[in-house]
Amino acid sequence: MSKPASATPKVPVEAIKALRDKTSASLNDVRHALEASGGNEAKALEWLRQRGAQIAEKRQGRATGQGRVECYIHHDGRLGALVEVNCETDFVARTPEFMQFCRDVAMHVAAMSPRFIKPEEAPAGTSAEDAKAAALLEQLFVKDPKTTVGELLKGLIAKTGENVVIRRITQFTVGG
């Protein structure tokens, strides 16, 4: 007696490994994304992006009492930034992914001068367009202009399984 054919196509292990290396998503999510997209990597990436957004939305209300304060000082010492990024546990705060995210956000703040974290934080009278342009989470990430800082944050939340919040940002310039 033979086994019935699987309803989903078998995805090669190499494809799963390659997409996992690109995204750092869980093996289960990567496998499912590739199966759901029929092996199409672009569609699988979109599926993973949507999955990350769903996970981030679920985690939004959870308390974030741990985290890191990270700084970036430009090579000439005339420009710097400080950021506070919070998460739920000190375990996540010590992971390489979390620490790299904090460093990247600090560098982005130094380079792009966001005035606030979310557009809603803009002062009254600021146009919606100006508020979006000056909001950290809406800005295109300086190291990868295909994604926003907000999308990077959602990706980190999906990877860590914890709520992560960029709490405070500040930029310093000599004479500024």
Residue 95 tokens read as: 């992971």
From residue 27, how far is each of 19, 32, 44, 45, 49 by CA, in Å?
A: 9, 8, 13, 13, 15
Q: Give the pLDDT score at 56.
A: 65
User: For residue 148, is pLDDT > 60?
Assistant: yes
Question: Nearest 5°: phi and psi at 55?
Answer: -65, -45
CB 39 within 8 A of CB 11: yes
- Give CATH for domain 13-59: 1.10.8
By the 10 Å C-beta count (0-12 exposed, 13-18 middle, 19+ buried), 47 is classed as buried
Sequence ranges of the chain with CATH classification 3.30.479.20: 66-173
Q: Give the pLDDT score at 64.
A: 75
Q: Which residue has better confidence, 10 or 54?
A: 10
Lowest mean pLDDT: which of 36-40, 53-57, 72-76, 124-128?
53-57
| CA-wise closest residue to 101 among 28, 165, 18, 22 | 165
Sequence ranges of the chain with CATH classification 1.10.8: 13-59
pLDDT tens for 57-70 read: 666 666 778 999 99
The CATH-assigned architecture of domain 66-173 is 2-Layer Sandwich (3.30)
| CA-wise closest residue to 99 among 69, 125, 79 | 69
The pTM of this model reads: 0.70
